[in-house]
Structure 1
Amino acid sequence: MATDHLGDMRLFAEAASAGSLSAAGRKLGLSPAAASARLAKLEATLQAKLFERTSRHLQLTDEGRVYLAHCTTALQIIDDAQAELRAGRGAVQGKLRISASTDFGRQLFGRWLDAFVDAHPDVRVALTLTDSLSNLHQDAVDIAIRFGQPENSALIARRLGPNCRVLCASPDYLARHGTPRTPEDLGQHRFIVLVTASGPLNQFHFAKGDRSWQYTVPMADAWESNDGALVRAWALAGRGIARKTIWDAAEDLRAGRLRILLPDYVAHEAGVYALRHGTRYMTPRVRAFLDFLVVQFAREATALSDVLPFQE
């Protein structure tokens, strides 16, 4: 019975991926009638409708999306276990599923990922770029890289390195509008604001010695986007001042395309973390990638020390 149920889960996952039950059945060696019967049996067992069916394609129901996330996780764990036994314990191989912010993922992190795969050619990558927090319990993600310490105690967090958010602008913008010297000067400037599902990130905090400041950008006057990469592009084009993590802006700062503003007032933060499920087996590829990231963040922090010294 367990084997049949596992086969039903694979059929369901393949059908969701292909958008076709008959295509999934062919891939698994099943006739259309047999595939339909097995899916009906699975829905009856779960007492839930997994697909809305039309003559052209399948569409997941809300229950189907929830079940697919768990099926993907379960099937990946089983495949990992079988691959590890076949190849020998500790082999770094298989698909690595990662979530990262858009700008970081396209810039610095992209180069690091290439270097890791070059060292481990049997690893394949599924990278999701988003500026919203992923729900790791629903999304099929091995590792999510997030700036700031997570609040979800059900997740295991590994600190990868220090972090701070900086205000930055292009030399062209500063030539036209001047350079702010204190937080009080910000009211005379234009801003580009990242907007997330929880709202605009338009409150800036500053610290120097025992004093602290807060500045809130008036959204009516700001350029805004939910895409961190577009915020970066606008900043490079001189549209205004943007607030970025030091890791997002690293390459632009070193190249002189962006300049840090108010460096003496930067409020340092908890750090950057890798999050993973607390109940999920950590495969050799995940363990190797986490160790790799710690080294990469340490090297980059040293390289950035001439731009902005990190404070632990």
Structure 2
Amino acid sequence: MSSDETGDLRFFTSLVDAGSLTACARNLGNSPAAISRRLSRLEARLGSTLIIRNTRHFGLSETGRVYYERALNIVADIDRLEDEISSSARAPKGTLSIGAPVELGRRQIAPFIETFSAKHPKLTISLALASEGVYDLSDYLDVVLRLGLPEAGGAMVTRLASTMRVLCASPDYIARRSLPAHPRDLTKHDCLCLRRNKTMALLNKWTIGNEQETDVVTVEPRLSTTNAEIIHDWALSGQGIAYKLLCDVCQDLEDGKLIRIFPDLQGERIDLYAVLPDRQHTRAGVRAFLNDLRPYFRTAGFLRD
């Protein structure tokens, strides 16, 4: 494989992870036009459209999906080979500080860190949790995991995975109140809503639908809180219907502790990003953490793009 081909693989995975030409251009320090031209040259060399893009849509074609998945594996193999050949002095060591939203951090990132730490015993790792994953990079964090695209001037932003919100309730609640027949019936049910910190603004407009029809239902909550884990606990105890991230409730859905309502419909799609202060991505510990985190998310309630 030539260096140009390897560079194309890395470029394409960076583009898909960024989620748009503009975000990729920002990450690579280039212009969107230059990124578009490079993508066009790659597609011309391969003789296939990899990304379907217009003013409203940026998504992988079927060929692009295959190319992206294979490219991830090839790039990971190259990185692993280089790590094995390099001296032990370059192995990840020192400290690694990670910030994450409270519930995602506790349910997904903390268990992942246990495995990751055993693999890299020379790293001393700390995990900081905050509501909605909002941190100031001046807090000396190496990596911040953020739900939703952040406004991070002077930082590198990389999309790691996507999840979506789902409607769910406990078997006890459903037995007591029955299932809603249509999304608009949610207004007749006990709903559990988040509020934003500081402003206490109510997040009560729930989007649910499919490619043919989407409803935005405004619910009046019976209970509300600024803490996502409390919403989760209330749902488990039968207090009402919750609009939760799939990555937070996937295990309870699998275990039958919660039941997904309208399983054929999808709620709001949410992207998960890694935010890194400038140049942090070059550190061995940060690079190893992100390289291992991406495949982990494929089995942790996140979507396959």
2:155 alignment partner AA: L
Tell me the TM-score normalized by structure 2.
Answer: 0.65
Gaps of 5+ in 1: 1-86, 305-309
TM-aligned CA deviation for residue 299 of structure 1: 3.0
Instruction: Output one character per residue of 1:198-245: Cα deviation in whole Å (capped at 9) or x when no partner.
Output: 533222112222322111222xx4312222222111111011111111
Instruction: Output one character per residue of 1:13-40: Cα deviation in whole Å (capped at 9) or x when no partner.
Output: xxxxxxxxxxxxxxxxxxxxxxxxxxxx
1:171 alignment partner AA: P
Instruction: Output one character per residue of 1:258-287: Cα deviation in whole Å (capped at 9) or x when no partner.
Output: 111122221452522222123546321111
Q: Are 2:165 and 1:158 aligned?
A: no
1:122–1:181 distance in 2 versus 1, CA, 3 Å: farther
Gaps of 5+ in 2: 1-86
1:185–1:135 distance in 2 versus 1, CA, 3 Å: same
For the Cα contact (< 8 Å) 1:194–1:226, is it kept in 2? yes
Looking at structure 2, the residues matched to 161 and 250 of structure 1 have their Cα atoms a distance apart, in angstroms, of: 15
Residue 210 of structure 2 corresponds to 208
Residue 249 of structure 1 corresponds to 249
Residue 138 of structure 2 corresponds to 138
Tell me the TM-score normalized by structure 1.
Answer: 0.64
Looking at structure 1, the residues matched to 123 and 181 of structure 2 have their Cα atoms a distance apart, in angstroms, of: 48
For the Cα contact (< 8 Å) 1:108–1:251, is it kept in 2? no
Note the 1:165-176 alignment, pairs <5 A: 165-176=165-176
> Between the two proteins, what is the percent identity of the paired residues?
30
For the Cα contact (< 8 Å) 1:148–1:269, is it kept in 2? no
Looking at structure 1, the residues matched to 172 and 105 of structure 2 have their Cα atoms a distance apart, in angstroms, of: 26
Looking at structure 2, the residues matched to 311 and 273 of structure 1 have their Cα atoms a distance apart, in angstroms, of: 15
Looking at structure 2, the residues matched to 135 and 88 of structure 1 have their Cα atoms a distance apart, in angstroms, of: 33
**How many equivalent pairs are there?**
217
The structure with the larger Rg is 1
- Aligned residue for 1:107, secondary structure, equals helix
Residue 18 of structure 2 corresponds to none
Instruction: Output one character per residue of 1:128-166: Cα deviation in whole Å (capped at 9) or x when no partner.
Output: 112234233332211121222334353322222221111
1:260 alignment partner AA: R
